[in-house]
Structure 1
């Protein structure tokens, strides 16, 4: 009997809800955990680290969208309402960490750079027994993992979401159509305000200019397609760019590397 995607999400959510107490301060067994994306908003009593062995993970909160392509992970504080999306082939590794053991402070999500050591620690930890010996080698491995998370650099892979209802509708329109060529002037006329007023409001609400926000959004939209190996030219067109060179330049400005360089991940 085949399960619908919604059934799978509900099963995963039920499993997590049933988990009242973590068996260890750091919990991440690959088989015991429902390592599936739960799209509807939910929260946990523990901090969570979402990492994709392959594929791209997207976490959404009221504050915005957080993207984790290869060698990135998303830190979700305890109690933070969030939803998770990913492509079909994405293979997730989740870690749940007790608040008393959490290596990162604050109540905001963040995207972390996963170096070679941290990557192997996450992979190795997911194979440990659920009731691993906290005072033995497995417990020491958990300690090193927490130390590596504490010093992992952050990546600017967050797309802020405005609170103003008009801007939320505007951003939702762009999100539904990454290839849209509608300008700030078009939206200002549609909303009945001047382009200068809309520009100021956009920067106040998101911290970014309209141009940079859309550029970052388009780069985010491109990540799953690029990770799947789609042609850069096709991705550029799907994200609203008229040429591959324009897309590559914009992607480099946002991500600090060309698409080819960004996905040149060591195996």
Structure 2
């Protein structure tokens, strides 16, 4: 995914003025402005960022968390992050306070957004911050939290190493996904054996360099595919010289071909926008 995408907008005025959330959940719908706000920030509460349309990506020190349609990113309180989105992305964010007391891991995660959860998010995005206790809005919040707690985690994560040399490697590879660089090139550059570098990479990321590199290219392909670009063009831009190889790798990671994956998302985007 290009770093030239759009970044997360400032929180809505009523949210920016708060130090604590007065209710367990606050919903917010926002179409991103046509400008980049390239800054890292953190919230005093949990954020769940869902793209009703487009592809969003949350970047933290731990890695990249990519959410095409049907997915959302859970960002724990206090985690420094940046949200980068493809053009035309419509983000619906939920802000969840400590009062919700969800038993959730204290790490970023990509979660599957079911049709029911999608409609709950869409509806809740128009609910005022201080909805009345005991009201229908509060009951909706309870159901929403329950659905979030049971949402399935999906492996759309590109872990980043803490090792400075390996981070340099990863950043360089991500900047040019169309160029394949064998690990031996990096081992020579860093003055270590390929075997040693391979072990360090696996220890730092939990993935082999080959698997990490393939996942990076496939995740980078999502914005172009979501925009309707030709699959052949996207495959070439991500370093694949064979369309069949790209489709096969895509299907292994996403359990669907590119066409099937985004065909499934189309009805959901229409419903979310309607």
TM-score by length of 2: 0.88
Report the RMSD for the aligned CA atoms in angstroms: 2.2
Partner deviation per Cα, 1:149-202 (whole Å, 9 max, x = no partner): 010000001100011111111111101000112111111111111111111111
What is the CA-CA distance between 1:21 and the residue it aligns to?
2.9
Q: Does 1:110 align with 2:93?
A: no
Q: Which residue in the other structure is 1:18 paired with?
A: 17
Question: Relative to structure 2, which stretch is displaced further, 121-130 or 96-105?
Answer: 96-105
What SS class does the counterpart of residue 50 from structure 1 fall into? Answer: strand
Moved over 4 A (4+): 8-11, 13-17, 34-38
How far 1:58 moved relative to its partner? 0.2
Residue 182 (structure 1) aligns with: 181
- Output the CA distance in 1 between the equivalents of 2:47 and 2:28: 13
Is the 2:55–2:66 contact (alpha carbons within 8 Å) kept by the matching residues of 1? yes
Which residue matches 2:231?
232
Q: CA deviation at 1:256?
A: 2.1
**Contact 1:45/1:78 (CA < 8 Å) preserved in 2?**
yes
1:131 matched to which residue of 2? 130
Return closer, same or farther for 1:164/1:29 CA change in 2, 3 Å cut-off: closer
Q: What are the equivalent positions in structure 2 for 1:1-267 lying under 5 Å apart? A: 12=10, 15=13, 17-30=16-29, 39-264=38-263, 265=265, 266-267=267-268
Quote how far apart the aligned CAs of 1:261 are.
Answer: 1.7
Distance in 2, matches of 1:63 and 1:10, equals 19
Q: In the TM superposition, what whole-angstrom CA distance separates every residue of 1:97-131 from its partner, at most 9, and x where no partner exists?
A: 10220434222000000000000000000122333
Q: 1:104 to 1:92 in 2, by over 3 A?
A: farther
What TM-score do the two structures reach when normalised by structure 1? 0.91
Task: Report if the CA contact (8 A) 1:38-1:84 is conserved.
Answer: no
Structure 1 residue 62: Cα displacement: 0.7
Instruction: Point out which structure has higher relative CO (alpha carbons under 8 A, 6+ apart).
Output: 2
Q: Which whole-Å CA distance do the structure 2 matches of 1:10 and 1:242 have between them?
A: 34
Provide the residue aligned with 2:272 in structure 1: none
Structure 2, gaps ≥5 residues long: 269-274
Task: Report the 3-state secondary structure (helix = DSSP H, G, I; strand = E; otherwise coil) of the residue aligned with 1:230.
Answer: coil
Query: 2-side partners of 1:223 and 1:240: how far apart?
Result: 14
CA contact (8 A) 2:56 2:83 kept: yes
Please tell me whether the aligned partners of residues 117 and 144 of structure 2 are also in contact (alpha carbons under 8 angstroms). Answer: yes
Match of 1:229, SS state, is coil
